[in-house]
Chain A
């Protein structure tokens, strides 16, 4: 991980002055007890310090742009909120963001493979050869053969298949994987039985399908393919390896697999799980107080109405003011921002300047 010098721009000074004034006002309000405003957690200077740390260590380069003036971006973003109370909430939002760098994603690719998938494959060898429990050292002898029974397939192009192969020292990987899962789900333009049969024949030696993906927010993309995979092909086991998954996506996938894909054994081997606590408005989340949650809901709905109503993923006819499929997250990746994050952070419709502009993958 590298450190970045933030540009010495007046925006940082402006921000410091602004939050200093808020902290002072909050202190005065507390002493006079006259405020009728929603109590928004104070210590704004501390929150700005936290944002500054992350800007230095993580936010640059966002979207591969090395020359970003994050304080300027933060300032312009804040300026769009209409009232002082909204701006305060926005600073709380910005300081509650969890960011993942490319290096972290690479490490999670290792976690999925080296800490999880390898052990599942060793357990298969142990079961096949009837070895004593945990005889990993003896099972290692059959590992390459077991790996050849696997087909590693990215769910979408953002899974970074080549990177997954490289960080995990997988040799002869050309025999391991292929383009994306779409090859199986849509083998040709009409999904003809002949095309399916051709694929079944080509991969008849593969018992295990390993599906890799960078982020799984709702489980929708994977489950929509899973039923078809289970119906058409003969894989014994499907290991789904998202580098990051949400708790609700994990539950949704297992629920779906039990109902619609019970013929195959499905297991999720994630790198990192975002718990329900990471969903902003969840009752178990402590990112914001109850009062702050209510105020933030109102704010998200207001700006969704004003700016994001026509967004293909979160706008009409599906209205998701709190992120795609009601994600309610505050998560950013260095390579992009998931649309499950609150739209005020990433959407750039109708002139809204987001803090972390999302580049849409699909046409």
Chain B
């Protein structure tokens, strides 16, 4: 399973502003997702200071306007759009609408801009508020097609409120581009989900997948010390299933630890078709995305239709993860 395409260790994790300064990055292409949260513009604050950069924002939209909190989300997203325009006055700015259920067109447009700028050697991929259904296929395109330095950026909010992240969840589906390549379809399936505060998605995928083995991951250390306890309680019914073998931990803010852990768990599952579900913190989703690409695994997700506009407040800081491929470092 070990190949030369995964991220090189030791992983480079630093504050994004410090990373840009220390690595003396002068120009880049920035790709982000324009959401309704304040932190959606966190990484941009470090980017606009550069001499040369091109800013690309995907603007995610659901299929329906008939969802709880739609108006408030739209208003906040529009406000953030105005803020972006004000911040990015001296750099080229591209805004692409992106349908959550079918992001292919928007992804193609991003890829097209990247292809037109081969001279730019740094790509800042801001996944702070990027919906999973867009993050995975977009990152795969970027990771597989471009050899330039990819710096993934993740902004933390000042505070999460005690309100839920989402209200309604759709049917489980296989994430575009992550069907997985399994030699034998008659083999049993094992499921490695990263669990979060809300169990609705996990429960629906568990029913959908009929997995023979389940090995969940919980973020630890997480946003707060009590994070694990809350996640355990939220998912207690799922965790009572006999298929659940053991629970593992991986740091919430380090995609590399999730990447390493999933690969380690997979060694316990020879003869199983392994499926992944990123239902926890976003940096862990990125870690899962890297494993899914490297090992060509299936990724299953259930799309929340109505995100809570009051889920987080403010912006605290941005982490930068400099993702270099093993083969690039070796060469």
The residue on A at minimum CB distance from B18 is A133
Q: Is the CB of B322 within 8 A of A134?
A: yes
Are B229 and A118 within 8 A (Cβ)? no
Is B240 engaged at the interface, CB distance under 8 Å to the other chain?
Answer: yes
Interface-facing stretch out of B35-43, B68-76, B246-254: B246-254
Produce 1/0 per residue, B24-40, CB < 8 A to A.
00000000000000000
Is A31 part of the binding interface, using a Cβ–Cβ cutoff of 8 Å? no
Partner of B23 from A3, A133, A275, A278 at Cβ < 8 Å = A133
State whether A119 touches B240 (Cβ < 8 A): no
Known: A115-B257, A118-B10. A137 touches B329 (CB 8 A): yes
B162: nearest residue on chain A (CB-CB)?
A286
Q: Which residue in chain B gives the minimum CB-CB distance to A114?
A: B257
> With an 8 A cutoff between CB atoms, is A176 at the interface?
no
Check A104 against B10 for contact (C-beta < 8 Å): no
Cβ distance B15 to chain A, nearest Cβ, rounded Å: 13
Residues of B contacting A313 in the complex (Cβ-Cβ under 8 angstroms): none
A264 and B247 CA atoms in complex are apart in Å by 41
Distance between Cα atoms of A247 and B224 in the complex (Å): 13
Q: How large is the interface on B (under 10, 10 to 19, 20 to 34, 35 or more residues)?
A: 20 to 34
Interface residues of B in 196-240 (CB under 8 A from A): 220-221, 224-226, 228-229, 232-233, 236, 239-240
Chain B residues within an 8 Å CB radius of A3: 239-240, 244
- Per-residue CB contact flags for chain A residues 276-320 toward chain B (1 = under 8 Å, else 0) read 011000000000000000000000000000000000000000000
Q: A3-B239, A134-B322 are in contact. Are A107 and B233 (CB under 8 A)?
A: no
Tell me how far the C-beta of B309 lies from the nearest C-beta in chain A, rounded to whole angstroms. Answer: 21
Name the contact of A137 in the complex, choosing from B8, B14, B22 (C-beta under 8 A): B8
Find out whether the CB atom of A122 lies under 8 angstroms from the CB atom of B220: no
Contact B226 A98 (CB under 8 A): yes
B100 contacts chain A at the CB level, 8 A cutoff? no
* Most B C-beta atoms less than 10 A away, residue of A50, A118, A136, A140: A136
Please tell me which one of the listed residues B10, B221, B244, B329 contacts residue A119 in the complex, with CB atoms under 8 A apart: B10
Check A103–B225 contact: CB distance below 8 A: no
- A229-B239 Cα distance, complex, nearest whole Å: 48
Chain A residue nearest to B260 in the complex (CB): A114
CB distance from B326 to the nearest CB of A (A): 10
Binding site for B on A (CB under 8 A): 1-3, 49-50, 53-54, 56-58, 98-99, 103-104, 107-108, 111, 115, 118-119, 122, 133-134, 136-137, 140, 271-272, 274-275, 277-278, 331
Seen from chain B, the residues whose Cβ lies within 8 Å of a Cβ on chain A are 8, 10, 12-14, 19, 22-23, 220-221, 224-226, 228-229, 232-233, 236, 239-240, 244, 246-249, 251, 254, 257, 322, 329
9 closest A-B pairs (Cβ-Cβ)? A133-B22, A1-B247, A272-B221, A53-B233, A136-B10, A98-B226, A107-B249, A53-B236, A134-B12
Q: List 17 A-B contacts (CB under 8 A).
A: A1-B247, A2-B246, A3-B239, A3-B244, A54-B229, A57-B236, A58-B232, A98-B226, A104-B249, A108-B221, A111-B221, A115-B257, A118-B10, A134-B22, A272-B221, A274-B225, A275-B225
